[in-house]
Structure 1
Amino acid sequence: MADAQMSGDLGVGAGAVGSALGFVGAGAALGAIRQENDQLGQQISSGQLKMNPDAANKAAQVYEKKADEVERLSLRASRLGRVQGLGDYSSAQELAGKFAQKASNGTNGAADLLKQLSDELRRKADLFRTAAKDYVTTDEQIGEDMQRGSQA
């Protein structure tokens, strides 16, 4: 499940966040997703992009489902930081500390990056829903304008 390829424009499998790209690469990929969401938001707010409500809502549901999956992975990754049974030697304590850092360090640990990805997936879902609402609003406005024009 962790290695399943995520759909669409993510370009990053959930399992690849910490392995194939490394944490630095995963952070860069996350930045690209964030930037893409910013551009999408700008297009929607400027009126350049409106989407068919059915298609937009279906896409939003897919992104919500993926966000749930990634969030579950984030929770699992955060548990990796609590390694026990390595012993009392300083080298064992140091190793346990390294596991904790890789799992979660507040910004670019595995759990942290996965949580940020989940947030961006939810943000994209919200953007699609906004585009759907804008489409409906525009459609209703056109209908009202046409009705007024036919009455004049």
Structure 2
Amino acid sequence: MADAQMSGDLGAIGAAGAAMGFAGAGAKLDAIKGENDKLGQQISSGQLKMNPEAANKAAKVYRGKMDEVDRLIQKAADLVRLEGFGDYSSAQELRGKFVMKAKNGSTGAFDLLTGLRDELKRKAELFEQAAKDYVATDEQISEDLQRGSQA
């Protein structure tokens, strides 16, 4: 489940970026943030219960994807330091375009990828919290049943 969702998250951002430029990828990132908000609300309200093993497995997948995104972030950061374009104004203009695509506030590759990594981390933490909540609830029920059988 998490692997398919993760592939969907990355694929949607990639497709949005290709189809609509970085602004489209930013919109998709906002949608992922919204999905994480909803997931967080469901977990904190107790509406979502997950088997701890499945939740921890999903968290592990998201943490692995974070590593992949970290490598992409490094590549985007490297674009800011591009050299070797030469002294011609057209070469410097081209270099400037690479730099703008790499780091242009909320619509640059670096910032979009950083936002995606943050949301992947957040989703992993949400799954880990769901696992902890499940275990805590299970332990509480067990204690309650034990107290009830002793009465």
Asked if TM exceeds 0.5, the reply is yes
Q: TM-score, normalised by structure 2?
A: 0.89
Residue 117 of structure 1 pairs with residue 119 of structure 2 = no
Corresponding residue of 1:91: 90
Q: Distance in 1 between matches of 2:146 and 2:28?
A: 48
What 5-or-longer segments of structure 2 have no aligned partner? Answer: none
Do the aligned partners of 2:26 and 2:106 also contact (CA within 8 Å) in 1?
no
RMSD, matched Cα: 1.8
Q: Given the superposition, is the C-alpha separation of residues 117 and 17 from structure 1 closer, same or farther in structure 2, using an over 3 Å criterion? A: farther
Q: Distance in 2 between matches of 1:64 and 1:39?
A: 20
Identical-pair percentage = 67
Q: Distance in 1 between matches of 2:55 and 2:83?
A: 46
Q: What amino acid does structure 1 have at the position aligned with 2:84? A: G
Q: Which protein has the bigger helix share?
A: 2
Residue 12 of structure 1 pairs with residue 30 of structure 2 = no
Do the aligned partners of 1:104 and 1:111 also contact (CA within 8 Å) in 2?
yes
Q: Given the superposition, is the C-alpha separation of residues 138 and 129 from structure 1 closer, same or farther in structure 2, using an over 3 Å criterion? A: same
Deviations 1:36-65 (A, max 9, x none): 000000111111112110000000000000
Q: Distance in 2 between matches of 1:12 and 1:63?
A: 11
Q: Distance in 1 between matches of 2:70 and 2:125?
A: 17
- Please report how far the alpha carbon of residue 15 of structure 1 lies from its aligned counterpart in structure 2 after TM superposition: 4.8
Secondary structure of 1:7's aligned partner? helix
Runs of 4 or more consecutive aligned structure 1 residues displaced over 3 Å after TM superposition: 9-12, 14-18
Q: What amino acid does structure 1 have at the position aligned with 2:36? A: N
Corresponding residue of 1:128: 127
Corresponding residue of 1:55: 54
Do the aligned partners of 1:18 and 1:110 also contact (CA within 8 Å) in 2?
no
Do the aligned partners of 2:59 and 2:124 also contact (CA within 8 Å) in 1?
yes
Q: Distance in 2 between matches of 1:8 and 1:104?
A: 27
Q: What amino acid does structure 2 have at the position aligned with 1:35? A: G
Corresponding residue of 1:32: 31
Aligned length: 147
Q: Given the superposition, is the C-alpha separation of residues 52 and 73 from structure 1 closer, same or farther in structure 2, using an over 3 Å criterion? A: same
